[in-house]
Structure 1
Amino acid sequence: MVSGRLTGPIGIAQPRGAALPTLLIIALVAFVTTLDNNIVAAAVPSIGRELGLGLTELQWISLGYILPFAGLLLVAGNLVDRWGQRRALLLGLLVFGTAALAGGVARDAVTLIAARAVQGAAAAVLVPATLSLLRTNLDVRGRTIGAGIWTAALAVAIAIGPAAGGMLSEHLHWSWIFFSNVPFAVAAAALAPAAAATTRRTTPGGADVRGMLLVTAAMLLFLMALVGTGEQTPNPLGRAVPAGLGVLALVAFVVVERRSAHPMLPRSLVAERAFLGGVSVQLLWGLGVSGVFFFTPLLHQESLGLTPTGAGLPLVLVAVAIVAATPLVAPAVDRWGPRYTVMVGLVLVSAGLVAIAVVNHVPSVPPRIPGLLLIGAGSAFTTPLTSFSLEVVATRDAGIASGALTASRELSSALGVALIGLVLTVRQSAELAAGAPEPDALASGFTAGLITAAVVELLAAAVTFACFRSRPFDEHRDTADSGGE
């Protein structure tokens, strides 16, 4: 590492003065791209009433954002490396803000879902462009701080999104859940020139469009199998056909990637156990948490009788716990290493989900508070997932690696909504068939979803133990890697 400076893309030195703008952009982009997904949770009843939509169509308002986000991330990471961080950030912010305005003025389902899809595509460019700044602008400890800010910002957005969406839709109009994105995009665009490099990667090879289309088609087909495409829940055959086609698309993707000269994931990344472990754990963490957070405001409105604002407000406690626990993460990594820090976090998240499941039959909010606080504190301790997964990545692959990590999170959001929704619906239907009242049946279904999510978090802890190092990464290794480029 050059004295007094930080090594940027392909060895270009970045001034240390770029660190503060980098951390601010990390916070803004993590917050707004996550908020744009979760803010719709408490507003979907209002959107449904005005546009005449059913539950399945309302789920696709969320999935319409997540699917292009997750599907395009790997190709977008490649493009970030080629275009340069500054160009990618500015273009992504422009499209993201414009699509947010389009969503706000939409008055039919097709226009709204299309605007959401464009926003998801723009977010797919923004996130790897931003996360690559961790690798190119910050030293080892700075990356831990930056990753902590990233995780805290996205988790805070997950937590307060439903409350904000409920408040805006209740007191103004649901359009404002989209208009609220614009100031964040403008602020991040103003900071981009100070933090992002214009340098492009010059190695040969094109984007793997075939791989992108196949993996996106596989995700779409799996979601169709779990959620359906219309008002009616699909019958077993309606689930089996898209699921089978999804498997075929996934197999074709693997074959294409093995034969491609320039696969979506460079073979050097696939060979890194720590990187693959980080991607897998990120997927499992989000799979457990995201689906629960999407359906919590619905449970609070339908089962507890809360207003849209009140239904999302308890999730703010998760944000409070994240903020309170985040300063403890770096010392925990120094003392225990990334493996045990992340494992502790995942076990705490699982314990929080179980704690809520135990009291879910109680028709009030206070008994749920300890579980919400445990989920928040545990999520903060999963911060090293990002920084230590990127630590093994060469600087030239920072964009594509960041895209892969975020793709796993966004894919987990889509699958989490679908999986927890399926578990909830199956259990709810069984309870209704047995004669249970609708609020009790919904609560029972949500309890089953919580237990499912808790098991997924424990599985993530097991993967963490198998894939992560027991000690922190050595800064000497980072210095040698930077200086050798």
Structure 2
Amino acid sequence: MIRRTLVVLALGAFVTTLDNTIVAAGAPSIGRALALDVDALPWIALGYMLPFAGLLPAAGALVDRWGRRPALTGALLAFGAGAAVGGVAGSAWLLVAARALQGVAAAFLVPGLLSLLRTNLDARGRTLGAAVWTACLAAALALGPALGGVLSEYCGWAWIFFVNLPFVVALLVLLPGTVPPGRTAGTRAPPAPAMVLVTASLVLLTTALAEPRFRLPLLAAGTVLGVAFLVRERRARERLVPAALTGNRVFLGSLGLQLLWGLGISGVFFFTPLLHQEFLGLGPAGAGLPLAGVAVAVVAATPLVPSAVARHGPFRTVAAGLAAVGAGLLALAAVNHVPALWPRVPGLVLIGAGSTFTVPMTSHALDVVAPRYSGTASGLLTAARELSSALGVALIGAMLTSVRAVRLAAGAPAGAALAVGYTAGLLAAAGLTFAGALLAVRVPGTRPAETSSPRDKRAVP
């Protein structure tokens, strides 16, 4: 059961995260095929990220209510359908719609799979499972652009989407022996008004960053709905987010760390292959390949995480990892003016190694919640990461295009103008990541009584 659970976690983490970044190196090819300009390219990624991030808080609660196996089965079928439609799409709107279907499905997949850390594994197994999950997540972030570039250059961009299908089939085969058929005991139907308010608010706020023409009204509408959600949660008897989670400072601290980590690296990862193509003159495959160094660093550093947590504690380990990520971003910014590839590799490797040591953000946060809230907690943790991914792409994209436009107006070559905008994005991302490192050392420690095994009296048999 333990090995099977780890395999399911690895496949699920990899494929759902892969769809965040696999379009990065292939986006220029898709743009040429569908006649899209640079400003429209982020929507290929945001079409997936927005529904993924926006639905996660509600989806996690629904997974607890419906049961993991039926929720995961339906989500996998929808994810595969979206991948198939995306591969045959002949227009921008159909491609974005297919990506949105995949995003909706992923919103149910991730909390359902991640909650297995709490229900299928004991405390020691959760640390290993979280390490596997985060390693596969970081590897997918790093390998996605390289894989997308290779597929786009040698097989055609449609295979960027078709490559998801083998993962879907494998997970469907493994589910029956890994996920129990029943639903978690003691769960209630999540309140529909709260689900609508939080989903609409998150989607509108994130869209505002990516759509400058309607930024102010989108921000206003998203803020109003967000405040309405908070007011309702404070007053309602039936809450979407249980008080056991909102009153847990360790869990809330982990949410904040997920947001800052995702803001720091997601936008940079999305635009790095574009920079490599436009500034360094590489093809799609070569443009994404350097990010493979991030994946190598993740794999190399993963065995070191448990001993670091045992010696320094979870959040000091996370702080060190975030500081390393910030240092890697600064290292990239320092050499970004150089029109060569290899000076960038040390910074990328440092980003990958540092990201590996952020594993306790997930494992420790799930340690301090009861099993009956594992789906909701997993959904909120992943929502923080995915929301930050969408915000990161939108924020770094807005900075990059704004600075690029100023440099173009001043007569700079197109590639050099893009590089200056990318540097501005790197500096902003580094600042956010260092802020996460400072937050990590201020998250309170956990009392032993707050952790438990899935075999305790609260666990689901």
TM-score range, shorter chain: over 0.9
> Could you give the per-residue CA deviations for residues 178-206 of structure 1, whole angstroms, max 9, x where no partner exists?
11001011111111111111221343632
SS of the equivalent of 1:107 reads coil
Unaligned runs of 5+ in 2: none
Of 7, 10, 23, which residue of structure 1 is paired with 2:6?
Answer: 23
CA contact (8 A) 2:27 2:41 kept: yes
> Could you give the per-residue CA deviations for residues 246-286 of structure 1, whole angstroms, max 9, x where no partner exists?
22121112122223322221111000000011111011100
Whole-angstrom CA distance in 1 between matches of 2:112 and 2:94: 28
| Deviation of the 1:390 alpha carbon | 0.6
> Could you give the per-residue CA deviations for residues 39-62 of structure 1, whole angstroms, max 9, x where no partner exists?
011111111111112233321121
Match of 1:270 in 2: 246
Match of 1:319 in 2: 295
> Could you give the per-residue CA deviations for residues 221-252 of structure 1, whole angstroms, max 9, x where no partner exists?
22333221xxxx53xxx422222222212111
Please say if 1:414 is aligned against 2:390. Answer: yes
RMSD: 1.7
Please say if 1:309 is aligned against 2:285. Answer: yes
Query: Which has the larger displacement, 65-74 or 474-483?
Result: 474-483
Q: How does 1:164-313 map to 2 (within 5 A)?
A: 164-203=147-186, 205-228=188-211, 234=213, 238-313=214-289
| Letter of the structure 2 residue corresponding to residue 82 of structure 1 | R
| Letter of the structure 2 residue corresponding to residue 437 of structure 1 | P
| Deviation of the 1:480 alpha carbon | 9.6
Whole-angstrom CA distance in 2 between matches of 1:444 and 1:416: 18
Match of 1:376 in 2: 352
Match of 1:13 in 2: none
Whole-angstrom CA distance in 1 between matches of 2:404 and 2:264: 19
| Letter of the structure 1 residue corresponding to residue 285 of structure 2 | T
Whole-angstrom CA distance in 2 between matches of 1:191 and 1:159: 26
Of 311, 325, 347, which residue of structure 2 is paired with 1:335?
Answer: 311
Of 125, 128, 151, which residue of structure 1 is paired with 2:134?
Answer: 151
State TM-score, norm by structure 2.
0.96
* Count of residue pairs brought into register by the alignment: 459
Whole-angstrom CA distance in 2 between matches of 1:418 and 1:477: 37
Match of 2:97 in 1: 114
Match of 1:7 in 2: none
Please say if 1:70 is aligned against 2:65. Answer: no
| Letter of the structure 1 residue corresponding to residue 178 of structure 2 | A
CA contact (8 A) 1:338 1:468 kept: no
CA contact (8 A) 2:64 2:187 kept: no
Whole-angstrom CA distance in 2 between matches of 1:73 and 1:477: 24
C-alpha distance 476-128 of structure 1, shift in aligned 2 (>3 A) = closer
Match of 2:456 in 1: 482
Please say if 1:142 is aligned against 2:125. Answer: yes
Whole-angstrom CA distance in 2 between matches of 1:312 and 1:113: 22
Match of 1:427 in 2: 403
> Could you give the per-residue CA deviations for residues 94-120 of structure 1, whole angstroms, max 9, x where no partner exists?
111122111111111121111111111
| Letter of the structure 2 residue corresponding to residue 482 of structure 1 | D
Whole-angstrom CA distance in 2 between matches of 1:169 and 1:386: 33
Whole-angstrom CA distance in 2 between matches of 1:454 and 1:299: 18
C-alpha distance 479-239 of structure 1, shift in aligned 2 (>3 A) = closer
| Letter of the structure 1 residue corresponding to residue 27 of structure 2 | V
Whole-angstrom CA distance in 2 between matches of 1:429 and 1:357: 19
SS of the equivalent of 2:313 reads helix
| Deviation of the 1:169 alpha carbon | 1.0
SS of the equivalent of 2:119 reads helix
Whole-angstrom CA distance in 2 between matches of 1:167 and 1:374: 24
Whole-angstrom CA distance in 2 between matches of 1:334 and 1:199: 35
Whole-angstrom CA distance in 1 between matches of 2:270 and 2:454: 44
| Letter of the structure 2 residue corresponding to residue 193 of structure 1 | P
C-alpha distance 480-43 of structure 1, shift in aligned 2 (>3 A) = closer
| Deviation of the 1:317 alpha carbon | 0.2
Query: Which has the larger displacement, 218-227 or 123-132?
Result: 218-227
| Deviation of the 1:21 alpha carbon | 0.8
Please say if 1:50 is aligned against 2:36. Answer: no
Calculate percent identity across the aligned residue pairs: 56
C-alpha distance 123-479 of structure 1, shift in aligned 2 (>3 A) = closer
Whole-angstrom CA distance in 1 between matches of 2:191 and 2:412: 51
| Deviation of the 1:475 alpha carbon | 8.9
After TM superposition, what 4+ stretches of structure 1 lie above 6 angstroms from structure 2? none
Match of 1:127 in 2: 110
SS of the equivalent of 1:41 reads helix
Match of 1:394 in 2: 370
| Deviation of the 1:213 alpha carbon | 2.2
State TM-score, norm by structure 1.
0.91
C-alpha distance 187-404 of structure 1, shift in aligned 2 (>3 A) = same
Please say if 1:355 is aligned against 2:338. Answer: no
